[in-house]
Amino acid sequence: MSENIRIASWNINSVRARIDIVERFLREEEPDILCLQETKVADDIFPEGVFRQLGYRHIMINGQKAYHGVATISRIPIHNKTVNDWQANGEARHVAVELENGVQLNNVYIPAGGDIPDRNENPKFGQKMDFFERMIEWSGGVKDKTILTGDFNVAPLEHDVWSHKQLMKVVSHTQIEIDILARLQETSNWVDLAREFVGHEEKLFTWWSYRARDWAASDKGRRLDHMWVTPDLKAAAKSHEVHRASRGWTKPSDHAPIIMDFAF
């Protein structure tokens, strides 16, 4: 007997500032699990009450004041919270949980990396590369059925950005980032689920800059948010959606949620 589970991932860019649209999303889309990134709130003042009122009583958080932060919110049981410090500096960028069926769910917020793709000129870019190296080391030891989702801050494919030619030297789409993400993917043969449902020749975005006067009309997006699975879970994935409409809601995040339906 299969178990249907809907999992969403969303860089919310401050969960307290955008709690109204989070609530709207949960009411309208009814995911079983919501993985949030960039929650920007310390654990002791995370707005758990709103989620509990909506039936999301299982809450695993790894936050810090004003910056970063991740949270996995669920209306089905989740267990065995673990946290990895892949930046080796105490920043709250990862939380993992285990579903009742044994599937491991990792929620990650990979550093953006600043504006200059050179670790000598820009230490933030070096931190991003080091974060990936530690993830690669972790990924090489992954054995269980595992989902890895969140804001990866890399748009790896040509049609993951609005203009491959114009963004080749822009952080998130540089060759060094594409290459290190590919190394991560290869370590456990991770399956990029979005591209299992949307062909590589089609444009697919999850992020649109706040700087655009009309983000929808210009559509200068990037696919920074991902959901990967180990090969043994590929067949369980049944549908994929970028919830683009939420980017146009009042006081939006610059990211749209991604939603995946599974039949385990």
DSSP H or E stretch at residue 126:
helix 123-139
In whole angstroms, what is the distance from residue 179 CA to residue 172 CA?
A: 11
On whether the pTM is more than 0.85, the answer is yes
The total of structural domains in the chain comes to 1
Query: Is the confidence at residue 120, as pLDDT, over 80?
Result: yes
Query: Is the confidence at residue 1, as pLDDT, over 80?
Result: no
Using a pLDDT cut of 70, give the percent of the chain over it: 100
DSSP letter string, 180-225? HHHHHHHHTT-EETHHHHS-TTS---SEE-TT-TTHHHH--EE--E
DSSP H or E stretch at residue 109:
strand 104-109
Tell me 152's DSSP state. -
Sign of CA dihedral 161, 228, 85, 92: positive
Only one residue has tokens 């590589």, namely 200
Query: Using an 8 Å Cβ cutoff, are 28 and 259 in contact?
Result: no
Name the residue range of residue 213's domain: 4-263
pLDDT tens profile 92-107: 999 999 999 999 999 9
Lowest mean pLDDT among 67-71, 176-180, 196-200, 209-213: 209-213
What CATH number does the domain containing 42 carry?
A: 3.60.10.10
At a CB cut-off of 8 Å and minimum separation 6, what does 141 contact?
none
Tell me 27's DSSP state. H
Query: Is the confidence at residue 185, as pLDDT, over 90?
Result: yes
Query: Using an 8 Å Cβ cutoff, are 257 and 243 in contact?
Result: yes
